[in-house]
Structure 1
Amino acid sequence: MHHAPASSPRSRPDRRTRRRHDREIVALALPAFGSLVAEPLFVLADSAIVGHLGTPELAGLGVAASLLMTAVSVFVFLAYATTAAVARRVGAGDLPAAIRQGVDGIWLAAGIGAVLVAATALAAPALVDAFGASASAAPHAVTYLRISALGIPAMLVVFAATGVLRGLQDTRTPLYVAVAGFAVNAGLNVALVYGAGLGIAGSAWGTVIAQWGMALVYLAVVVRGARRHGAPLRPDLAGIRASGRAGVPLLIRTLALRAVLLIATAVATRLGDEEIAAHQVVLGIWSLLAFALDAIAIAGQAIIGRYLGAGDTERARQACRRMVQWGVAAGVVLGAGVVVARPLILPLFTSDAAVQDRLLPALVVVALTEPVAGVVFVLDGVLMGAGDGPYLAWAMVATLAVYAPVAFAVPVLGGGLTALWWAMGLMLALRAVTVGLRARSGRWLVTGAVRA
């Protein structure tokens, strides 16, 4: 393992090199998009179905979904750290060790998931109350959160197993599983919410069933690969601990990011039921767009990890530069798409005129900030692929320290939901500065099968 000097030559890639990077990025990013958007699509489908039950139900879903996504998403390192670690070993030519690394991550995911099920179910009323949910929305939030907690282990196993496959440069299998999972989730939600008359509880049960189905499929794929390459499947405590330690910086980074989103939801909750209902829809759309951009970042994790594992820093630089260009272009296209689709988005999620009035300007803010988001998510993925977790952790903590007082000032200074989403735009700008400076420094270019 060694660090590439910051003064290494940065030759501009020729057209053939750019085309090769483009093909590699597209081959990994397009299928990755399907697996990345699975959870936001689950939430969006739930929002579209539950939204027609009434505003209190949609507001309750908004609080519960935010809490659930926080409980799960803080452990997204199970996917991201696993992708980078597995890809490095693939680049170094050690496939059995790569799969072994992934199996350790899956065991870690299962253990964390078991603990979270009990904690979330028991603390559901207190968590909902801490968010300041109204008396009409709180019962629906508690019901959804308690049932959905049963799917947390499945979601974490999906994270880890997806990371294994991405590190092996396979993003097609996660795509197929995600498409099937979304279809099952949507069908079950309609059948259980309206057909069986279970209301918001039916939406939660449909999602849990779909999540466990996805987890079982992923496990079957990983087990088959491990047996083919002679990688052991039994728990290895040393390997599980090593996976946990490697994920700590990304855990800190993700906690800070989830704190940003939780603060936004808490502020929206205190603005009123119409605001939190509108915020739930905007946040779902923002998350969907973010995961679309992150598809390029996932390609970056796999590609950068493989190049650094093979000791090729120049190709890693070139791939990083090309992916940033892709991120900016994708952000422009997605932002324009939000503007064009606004007339369709509003009635899809709610028929409440007051909620629609708050949705409209917030969606404009989301559209305008998408190009910045493109840079942020792509460079985030590149640095994760390089194993540069400690820098990402403290950069995100610093961003949170600036964002939090601005967001909490919104109810005092006015501006409503629109002002809150401009605060989110400030958060993106700060992140763009921190990850941009790191990418230019070259300090992330550390080679070898393992990054210490």
Structure 2
Amino acid sequence: MLASAPGLGPSTWRRGACPGQQCRTGGAGRPAAPGEDRWSLPAGLCAAAATGLCLRSRRADTTSSRCALPCHAPRRMSAAWGLHAVADSRHPLPRAPAVAAAPAGAEGRATAADTGMPFLEDPRALDEQVLALALPALVALCAEPVLSIIDAGFVGRLPDPALALGGLGVATTVFDFVFRCYNFLCVVTVPLVAQAVVAQRRGDLDAPDPAAITGRAIGLAASLGVATWASLTWGAPLALQLAGAAPGSELGRIAETYLQIRAAALPASLVNTVAVGAFRGQLDTATPLRVVLLQTGANVLLDALLVFGSEGLGVPSLGVEGAALATAASIWLSCAAFCFQLSSRGLVAWEAALAWPSALAELKPLVEGSLAQLLRTLSLQAVLLQFTRTVVALDGSGVAAAAHQVALRVWFFALFALDSVAVAAQAMLPMAFASGGADRARWVSTRLLLWGFGGGVMTGVLLSAGEAIIPAAFTDNANVQTTARPLIGLLAALQPLAGLVFTWDGMFQGLTDYTYLAVAMALSAVGTLAILQLDGLSSSLEGVWVCFSIFLVLRAAGLAYRFWGLGPLSVE
């Protein structure tokens, strides 16, 4: 029966014209077309010309509690009217026959007007949309690593900073590796939500509910987070030993304490990852930015309070343990903020989050994409790990290893600028493809490549201009600075190519081409590691970074082949 609508049984439903004025699916009182069978609410129950809650575009399901309102009807409006299709034996909902959706736009394809996304046809609107997505994403991406930097800044002012920072560094390395293995949760959620949004705006009959997609992804993420939290809590000593902490040492004890406390926030961290993907799929990167800034501010305040303590507030100095508590608490706070934003805007179906284990068919695209994306992530991490191990073995002074770390930090910060365009591509490409096929997606992707290449040129110019001074921002050691400068120059030269590579990554992630991305990354990794074994390259820091350049070139070759060859963007 329809909750909160007394007497609204099957007899009050009728076929034919929708009495609502300007119903989005049928128009003002438009009679049913020949061969078309529509169910609509009686007069007075059609949301008074505001939403047009015609059931033409959604079949009512009498065997489940799926909402029968059309996908484009706001969830908050349907909740206010109490029009949730919860069927029972007394008042089963009528089943609307399946009908084909009316073609949208010329040749059956949706136009920008159909989808409410003018950037799909207007170059200027597309550029504005890229900026609207990329700029907040850029700030949010830059803010993410600040959490570890903040912890290090406070811990470094403790009485014995060397030991504390060493333990913090090892624990952070383990946590970051584990967390990065789950980045597929965000990457896979973006296109699933974006495609569902386009299908809803077109009024497709079987359009999936983006709120349900988000809910199931959150349920899966929370479950993975709890399982990983338990695993890290139990296996922290072994994980830290693999990362270089000696068993039974004071450094290992500090690292274990930090890791176990921070691991308690893993469920929240993974839910946050899904939430970011859900908002990106809705073309919203501003909300994740606001939440990240809230999290960062809370982390600073809690670090100051818990690391050093406060006599006035009766809070003892907790040292490294306080830093872990501050970070974990700020992550849970951001999780609460994300959940509130999703709920208040009707972007998540919490019943789907609770029932995700029973929705295996709906989870199939998420799981398949996740496995491929995990392989891609592990291949990338294997290459970076081998580079670091090779550099550490070069000399005992630590100069080469320090210069290598400086170059990596610069690379990762430059990556944020380029990855912001990839974030835009992840959200825009699935919408373009769903609304206009390969032709429209190809047009959007070409424009995005110009943005990626242009961003690479800009970051390259900035790195080249700062080549002499950038290393000094990381260390006062003159030998390390001298060794790192040529690496900064090499990174500057690689930026335009990196801009194309990261944009292609975002495009094919948005088009759910995960298997090809995983295989291409794995082959590039194998080829790079094989080349690294050559004596002339593995025996010097410069040789290792030449291999880094080769790795990027191999990735570019594989992605360029997919873009211009037989891939999802191929056009006849």
TM-score by length of 2: 0.67
Q: Is 1:235 matched up with 2:359?
A: no
Distance 2:526 2:543 in 1: 18
Q: Secondary structure at the match of 1:106?
A: helix
Question: Residues 151 and 278 (structure 1 numbering): CA distance in 2 closer, same or farther, change over 3 Å?
Answer: farther
Closer/same/farther in 2, CA of residues 410 and 181 from structure 1, 3 Å limit: farther
| Distance in 1 separating the partners of 2:212 and 2:350 | 9
Whether the 8 Å CA contact 1:395–1:434 is kept in 2: the answer is yes
Task: Provide the C-alpha distance between the structure 1 equivalents of 2:487 and 2:303, rounded to a whole number of angstroms.
Answer: 28
- Answer whether contact 2:532 2:547 (CA < 8 A) is retained: yes
- Partner of 2:502 in structure 1? 377
Tell me what 1:86 maps to: 193
1:193-242 per-residue CA deviation (whole Å, 9 max, x = no partner) reads 45675544444333222222211111111222337999855323223455
Q: Unaligned regions of 5+ residues in structure 2, if any?
A: 1-120, 202-206, 310-315
With over 3 angstroms needed to count, the CA separation of the structure-2 counterparts of 1:230 and 1:113, relative to structure 1, is: closer
Number of aligned residue pairs: give it. Answer: 431
Quote the sequence identity (%).
32
2:132 counterpart of 1:24: no
1:302 maps to what in 2? 427
The corresponding residue for 1:165 is 279
Alignment match, 1:424: 548
Q: Which residue of 2 aligns with 1:318?
A: 443
Q: Is the 8 A contact 1:52 1:350 kept in 2?
A: no
Answer with 1 or 2: which has the greater Rg: 2
Q: Distance in 2 between matches of 1:137 and 1:83?
A: 40
Letter in 2 for 1:150: A
Q: 3-state SS of the aligned residue for 1:310?
A: helix
| Local SS of the residue matching 1:311 | helix
**Are 1:64 and 1:128, in contact at CA under 8 Å, matched by a contact in 2?**
yes
Please say which of residues 108-117 and 253-262 is displaced more in the overlay: 253-262
Larger proportion of helix: 1
The verdict on how the C-alpha distance between 1:328 and 1:399 changes in structure 2, with shifts beyond 3 A counting, is same
Residue 328 of structure 1: SS of its match in structure 2? helix
Q: Give RMSD over aligned pairs.
A: 3.3
Match of 1:386 in 2: 511
Structure 2 residue matching 1:444: 3-state secondary structure: coil
Using CA pairs under 8 Å that are at least 6 residues apart, name the structure with larger relative contact order, 1 or 2.
1
Letter in 2 for 1:30: L
* Contact 2:215 2:348 survives alignment (8 Å): no
Q: Which residue of 1 aligns with 2:328?
A: 208
Residue 130 of structure 1, CA deviation: 2.5
1:415 counterpart (528, 533, 540): 540
d(CA) in 2 for partners of 1:411, 1:144: 40
What is the aligned counterpart of 2:564 among 426, 440, 445? 440
Q: Which moved more, 1:197-206 or 1:425-434?
A: 197-206
- Structure 2 Cα separation of the partners of residues 191 and 363 of structure 1: 38
Residues in 2 aligned to 1:251 and 1:159: alpha-carbon distance in whole angstroms: 15
Native 8 Å contact 2:210 2:348 kept in 1: no
Q: Using the alignment, how far apart are the partners of 1:408 and 1:204 within structure 2?
A: 39
For 2:229 and 2:433, locate their aligned partners in 1 and report how far apart those are by CA, in whole Å.
37
Corresponding letter in the other structure for 1:212 = W
Aligned partner of 1:3 in structure 2 is none
Shift of the 412–380 alpha-carbon distance from structure 1 to 2, 3 Å rule, reads closer
- 8 A contact 1:267–1:411 mirrored in 2: no
Match of 2:416 in 1: 291
1:254 partner letter:
T
Closer, same or farther in 2 for the Cα pair 1:224/1:275, shift >3 Å? farther
Give deviations 1:92-136, integer Å, cap 9, x for gaps: 126871121111111111111111112223333323332445779
8 Å contact 1:40–1:288 — kept in the other structure?
A: no
Q: Is the 8 A contact 1:121 1:149 kept in 2?
A: yes
Taking a change above 3 Å as real, the CA distance of residues 405 and 442 of structure 1, as seen in their structure-2 partners, is closer
In structure 1, the partner of 2:340 is: 220
Given the alignment of the two structures, is residue 145 of structure 1 paired with residue 269 of structure 2, yes or no? no
Q: How does 1:113-124 map to 2 (within 5 A)?
A: 113-124=225-236
Match of 2:269 among 138, 155, 160: 155
In structure 2, what is the equivalent of residue 77 of structure 1?
Answer: 184
**Cα distance in 1 for residues equivalent to 2:348 and 2:384:** 42
- After superposition, the Cα gap between the structure-2 partners of 1:412 and 1:376, relative to the gap in structure 1 and judged at 3 Å, is closer
Match of 1:42 among 138, 142, 147: 147
Name the counterpart of 2:138: 33
Q: Can you list the C-alpha shifts for 1:226-273, whole angstroms capped at 9, x where unaligned?
A: 379998553232234552233221121122122223333444454555
8 Å Cα contact 1:48/1:349 also seen in 2:
no
Cα distance in 1, alignment partners of residues 323 and 535 from structure 2: 32
Instruction: Write the distance in 2 (CA, Å) between the matches of 1:57 and 1:313.
Output: 54
- Rounded to whole Å, the distance in 1 between the matches of 2:475 and 2:292 is 26
Structure 1 residues 148 and 352: CA distance shift in structure 2, 3 A: farther
Cα distance between partner residues in 1 of 2:352 and 2:408: 41
More deviation, 323-332/36-45: 36-45
Displacement of 1:35 after TM fit? 2.9
Deviations 1:31-61, CA, capped at 9 Å, x for gaps: 2223333322323444555567756655554
Residue 101 (structure 1) aligns with: 213
